[in-house]
Amino acid sequence: MSLVPLHVIHLGQDDPKKCTARKLGSQGLARVHNKADSAPRRGYLLDPHATVIMGPEDKELIELGASLVVLDCSWKKIHESISFIEDKTNLESRILPVLLAANPVSWGKVGRLSSVEALAASLAILGYKDQARIILRPFNFGEQFLNLNKEPLEAYANAISREQISELQIEFFG
């Protein structure tokens, strides 16, 4: 199984010391783009406001070499940031199923994942657990993220449809 290409559209809105996207880039684990139009043309943009949930139906495009792309921006500016890049890319938007953040800024908050957590969750859901572990390794909260979300991530990865994932997230998180 080859590695999924990982990309970050970096808008420079967060504290550089807490920026997981920059660290992914410096470790060679993701390619960082400072402009949305330099991001890949084929793949999925992880978007907390998307209407389509990441699921097994998305594996086919990933297996054909499509990328996973995360928008690294401030949670306080998420709406305007998504609007800003929507017209600059042809990526398909996907929302992740409900998970808990383990990063120090948003620990325990539902859905407030850092860039690395969002990419790792996507990889795990799509069946690339080893790559998920690899990208989380440089972060002191990485293993905690996987442990905190162990049961839902396994259930989401084993789901046969995005509809089943929608049902599972309700079972786990109400």
HEC profile for the chain?
CCCCCEEEEECCCCCHHHCHHHHHHHCCCCEEECCHHHCCCCEEEECCCCCCECCHHHHHHHHCCCEEEEEECCHHHHHHHHHHHHCCCCCEEEECCCCECCCCCCCCCECCCCHHHHHHHHHHHCCCHHHHHHHHCCCCCHHHHHHHCHHHHHHHHHCCCHHHHHHHHHHHHC
Please name which of 37, 49, 48 lies closest in space to residue 121, comparing C-alpha atoms. Answer: 48
- pLDDT tens digit sequence for 11-27: 665 655 667 888 898 89
- pLDDT tens digit sequence for 19-78: 788 889 889 999 998 877 777 888 999 988 889 999 999 999 999 999 999 887 655 656
- pLDDT tens digit sequence for 107-154: 988 888 999 999 999 999 999 999 999 999 999 999 999 999 999 999
Q: Give me the amino acid identity at 43.
A: G
Overall average pLDDT of the 99-110 stretch: 92
Q: What percent of the chain clears pLDDT 70, i.e. is strictly above it? A: 85
